[in-house]
Amino acid sequence: MILTVTLNTALDVTYTVDALVPHSSHRVGEVTERPGGKGLNVARVLGALGHDCVVTGFAGGPTGDVLRSLLAPLPPRDALVPVAGNTRRTLAVTDRSTGDTTQLNEPGPQVSPAEWAAFLRTYEELTAGAEAVALCGSLPPGIHVGAYAELVRIARAAAVPVLLDTSGEPLRRGIAARPDLVKPNAEELARLTGSREPLRAARDARRRGAHSVIASLGPEGVLAVTPDGVWRAAPPAPVRGNPTGAGDSAVAGLLSALAEGLDWPQRLARAVALSTATVLAPTAGDFDAAAYAELLPRVTVEPHTPTP
């Protein structure tokens, strides 16, 4: 079983319009709702890949009820912890004329100390039976900034590999707890280390405590700095589409390949193929299965030699 943690779950609402024009009224052509938050997105992809997956985090209020009802028929098992506050919503507006998406994210519910303590009990129980753990996304109000560091330490004490995918101060604190893997994008890595050169920044992140660093470089693929070597992995060609959820699909690819005992080049190829297939999918956060199968053998994975 793979455990994904989404402390700040969301009900993802997507509007599709013919063209998004500021300061004007729009007729929405299509509305979709789905359970969201980074860890839930990861779990949905893991389920589609055939892996047993459990999701935990927080859900509450009327929005939380809708989220859990949408989650119920999906492969990931629901171990979300109830809170008194209302689960946040995220609103994405997709412009058909350009393919671009505008995102609006609510902050999330206030979590009390008692609710956090209840979550920790659930997390410890689930971690004991997990093959791997993914800690994903932002922190809701009320959760201390070192929360992910605490969760990393619990997973490490249980000898369970743990992946951290967050940003800002939670990432800085979490890396110091020595996660097995972190997956920042280039901007998050630059904010963490002060360097905009990806290899230098990834090596700096390893020195800060991360065992391995997978830096997402957007359409250019990923850079992996690990104890076993440094690799660049890239799709065969740039693609256009909706990148929402592409990073979460990459996390699912890394976790599923880890659980299957694949080596680093195979893990990176899967992560890049899934991420690219997510950009090509008609619905944000899903991946195009046919595109994934076609892309996987064509992803380029090469040892990375820095330019002098």
What are the residue numbers of the active site?
248
Local structure of residue 261 (DSSP, 8 states): T
218, exposed or middle or buried, with CB in 10 Å at 0-12, 13-18, 19+? middle
H helix and E strand count, the chain? 10, 15
User: Residue 81 pairs with which residues in a beta bridge?
Assistant: 58
Helix axes 246-259, 264-279, angle to 10 degrees: 150
In what helix (H) or strand (E) does residue 295 lie, and over which residues does it extend?
Answer: helix 289-295
The token pair at 228 is 């076993």
DSSP code, position 296: G
Query: Which segments of the chain are extended strands (E)?
Result: 2-6, 10-17, 30-36, 53-60, 77-78, 81-83, 88-95, 101-105, 132-136, 162-165, 181-182, 212-216, 222-226, 229-234, 300-303
Helix axes 147-157, 168-176, angle to 10 degrees: 30
Using alpha carbons, select from 153, 155, 156 the residue that is nearest to residue 56.
Answer: 155
The answer to whether 40 and 64 have CB atoms below 8 angstroms apart is no
Structure tokens at 253: 């690819």
DSSP secondary structure letter of residue 236: S
- Rounded Cα distance between 193 and 231, Å, is 20
